[in-house]
Structure 1
């Protein structure tokens, strides 16, 4: 019966399956993966990783565009034999362009060309979502990347709109339909789970498609990807001017970290103290660093304000926490003459293709005043900063947001700003459906503390059993840290709810990461 059903799936479906305009769906591959041990079969897998799974059907397909020039939205859905009736959609990363594996607790980092053996709280040793009974889907958001941080795909309007948010709904509907073809019913619950670009996507589904998703987990979201790209672009120019005079050598970076640690009494994860004592940190840094180096570090860490509001009235682009020594090895190039590590190339392509949408545009001429309309248009399309998530609340949705305090790629201050905009909108009612956690020692899936925790179980307990997540105990997966654990609390990071706990004592819990 299953074999016949699988064969029936191998056909083209017309454009009536999906709500949004599309050119139909073609199923490109259907295969059955039996229960047992299997090779991961990644292109970048020198360790020949394996995984254990219960039996499932893997379906790959392509959602065609209305524009014949638009590239397909390629997707995968993994449907377990023992399905629990629920669908989890996984978000992407970077500029997307690759399908994240639905059946693993890992993903291929196409930029670093390696396999990361944990994803947002789960390791390769933990049961997969599919083995736990969930159908899981993911997508490349409607394009392939030619090279690291390539955004040339954005020149096609339909492809750009797909990437911005439409691929999310299209993929969810396609996956739900295919699951129903195998099991005879649509999913009763749909969750979204993603970080970085996938974190932006998580907030997009809450803001744009609240009727489609019951609950969402969002890790370190690239919430303001367009405006972040603008700030990063000008920071990159500042670091390169005067023959790279602002560059920090490895010794300089170590000095920054040591000064910050001394000023913060050894606890740079106490974010309130770190922000309040920023001026003192810079005073001490100026005793050794040159004015040009201070100027460059200031460009990174100071907030940038646009001369006009963009999407949802936002003007502020928060700075990085680099003055604490966080992420300097990724933010600064290995020599004063390079164009930068992670953020500079991404920023350049954001300006060239997503904002200006002109492959011949000379980015040296980019000016925020001159190109106001293009910047606002791009921000309104892609930045996920809308605090009005009333429809999500009304349908009983739950949202868990997490951000590491040592994130060197996306500043946690942008997520803090968004959460505070939610507080301004909903007041005390926000606690009924949103929880936000800052995680000490944790970076962009790297850091001194790498999180292990079953956030899906935490979400399910909240949704099904009304167990409100307050204190969460998270484990460190770094082997040399011997499974240490710490508690994390809802923002601002101590047991503040209903006056419980010793606030003065609890505010120092970050020190347990040392």
Structure 2
């Protein structure tokens, strides 16, 4: 492992000549690890004092204050498998803002802030990119301002301060405290480190908030399936739930499977391979009226009311006279109404998100029937919420000017947040930057066919579900090597199809089957532009 821009500081008592001799480019992996550990322990001591043990250095953080945060827990977690020994601390701030920082004893000099999701309320210390836990990253995660056990689901939004922290306030406050903690633990080495934010869904929205409103906080930002058009998205949940609740308009598991199979039959092989994965959604034009029932109703056809429900999925949505909008979902197959899937159309997740948004964010009345709330009567409140929570500003000129880099990512079979929302945002960023050549210097967008919302689920998505974007991002901000200049491979981690690989293609390219070779090997595909 080499560190292009992060060199190790000298050990106490060593000459400048000795410091220069520690060249990461010429050290072996073993000597790098030993050097990193020695530097870490030395940074915890001072002068001629013997260096503290990792446990002592961790324990001394307990009950200390860092930029408004009190450390309420500090524990040295032992190494487990390939995950290295780490000091894990919990910090707490007013009102209910809490966070964790994990600091490996053997640190790779990189820092990753990991975003949350949904209504947050808990600290999720796991990354969407594989390999982070094993690779020595210092990581930061937060509950984004509230305790979900005290405020189930969206109920926290009744408190203006908790809502503010959820929308925008938590990350800057937590990052300031975390940087002070990291400096205490690692010394001056932290000043040379790069900071990256990675989040998906609500975490993807939080990622774009940083790029748009706080362009100086992070060197790199990874926004997966971002819920950045939050207002339109959550109003759409209410609209589709109202439509599905109409007499005869519901879509059964069987009917949704019929829609998915109909799309796959027409568009699956546009990428050269029949594998139940539609890799060219923009070229998949499906007319669902061909499924209209002409005789007795069955799961193999749709009534007029059900066609109207499907229209709400696959056509752009306009709400409150066009004041709020939501992009259409593409025809990509993979749809499901089986509520064992967390992204079932009209299922539990839709209901929790859509109903709680209308109760607690919009009407601010826990007892209200969420389907009875008329957005047209709440435009003042909705405009305020949009200004607070949405992250749709395409002008990233300040982020670009300070050298920031952005990766956008979306899976095609995401049925909670439409792929087209991210595509539309990317197109606006490109236009704002002055066109593709200018935008390519700081933003790249990737689409992964057959990938569902954020992570692998046993019943969602037929394609790869796991791809490392953190390593390419650090290579970009440390060495200037764009992610698209290297091969990025996505893999599948769940049954069926464990071991499937596909190349990750920079939009607007897609992975086309070469015509021969193992269909589960990434070498059998080439990233090409649509004809």
Interval containing the TM-score (normalised by the shorter chain): 0.7 to 0.9
Q: Find the aligned partners of 1:300 and 1:147 in 2 and give their Cα distance.
A: 34
Question: Residue deviations 1:205-262, cap 9 Å, x none?
Answer: 11111101000112111112222110110110111122xx112223222221221122
Give, in whole Å, the separation in 1 of the partners of 2:347 and 2:62.
45
Alignment of 1:65-76 (within 5 A): 65=95, 72-76=96-100
What is aligned with 1:299?
312
Q: CA deviation at 1:197?
A: 1.1
What is the aligned partner in structure 1 of residue 279 from structure 2?
Answer: 269
Deviation at 1:298, TM superposition (A): 1.3
**Structure 2 match to 1:6:** 58
Pick the aligned partner of 1:62 from 92, 117, 125: 92
The answer as to whether partners of 1:88 and 1:136 remain within 8 angstroms in 2 is: yes
Structure 1: runs of 5+ lacking an equivalent: 18-23, 38-50, 66-71, 107-118, 496-503, 510-514
Output the CA distance in 2 between the equivalents of 1:170 and 1:319: 36
Q: 2:451 — aligned with what?
A: 442
Q: CA deviation at 1:317?
A: 0.8
- More deviation, 459-468/362-371: 362-371
1:219 and 2:219 matched: no
1:469 is aligned to: 483
Cα pair distance change 1:55/1:146, threshold 3 Å: closer
Which residue in the other structure is 1:417 paired with?
424
Q: CA RMSD in A?
A: 3.0
Cα distance change of structure 1 residues 463 and 282 upon mapping to structure 2, 3 Å threshold: farther
Alignment TM-score, normalising by the size of structure 1 = 0.79
Query: Could you tell which deviates more after superposition, 430-439 or 142-151?
Result: 142-151
Which of 489, 500, 521 is the matching residue for 1:484? Answer: 500
Q: Spell out, residue by residue over 1:117-157, the C-alpha distance to the aligned partner (whole angstroms, 9 max, x if none).
A: xx5241xxxx444x423210101111122499711111111
- Would you say 1:389 and 2:396 are equivalent positions? yes
Q: Unaligned stretches of 5+ in structure 2?
A: 1-51, 271-277, 295-300, 512-525
* 1:422-464 residue CA offsets vs partner (Å, 9 max, x unmatched): 1110112111110101100111123212333332221122222
| Structure with the greater alpha carbon radius of gyration | 2
Counterpart residue number, 2:409 = 402
Residue 27 of structure 1 deviates from its aligned partner by 1.1
Residues matched between the structures, number: 443
Aligned to 1:142: 145
Q: Deviations over 1:356-398 (max 9, x none)?
A: 3233444344222211111111111111111111111011111
2: distance between equivalents of 1:452 and 1:346? 25
Partner of 2:46: none
Which residue of 2 is the match for residue 184 of structure 1?
187
- Relative to structure 1, the CA distance from residue 97 to residue 367 in structure 2 (aligned partners, 3 Å threshold; closer, same or farther) is same
Superposed displacement of residue 325, structure 1: 5.0
Structure 1 residues 189 and 480: alpha-carbon distance in aligned structure 2, compared to 1, 3 A threshold = same
- Would you say the 8 A contact 2:343–2:349 is kept in 1? no
- For 1:50-449, what aligned pairs fall within 5 Å after superposition? 51-65=81-95, 72-101=96-125, 106=126, 119-122=127-130, 127-129=131-133, 131-146=134-149, 150-185=153-188, 186-187=190-191, 188-242=193-247, 245-264=248-267, 266=269, 268-274=278-284, 277-278=285-286, 280-285=287-292, 288-307=301-320, 315-321=324-330, 324-330=333-339, 340-426=347-433, 427-428=435-436, 429-444=438-453, 445-446=455-456, 447-449=461-463
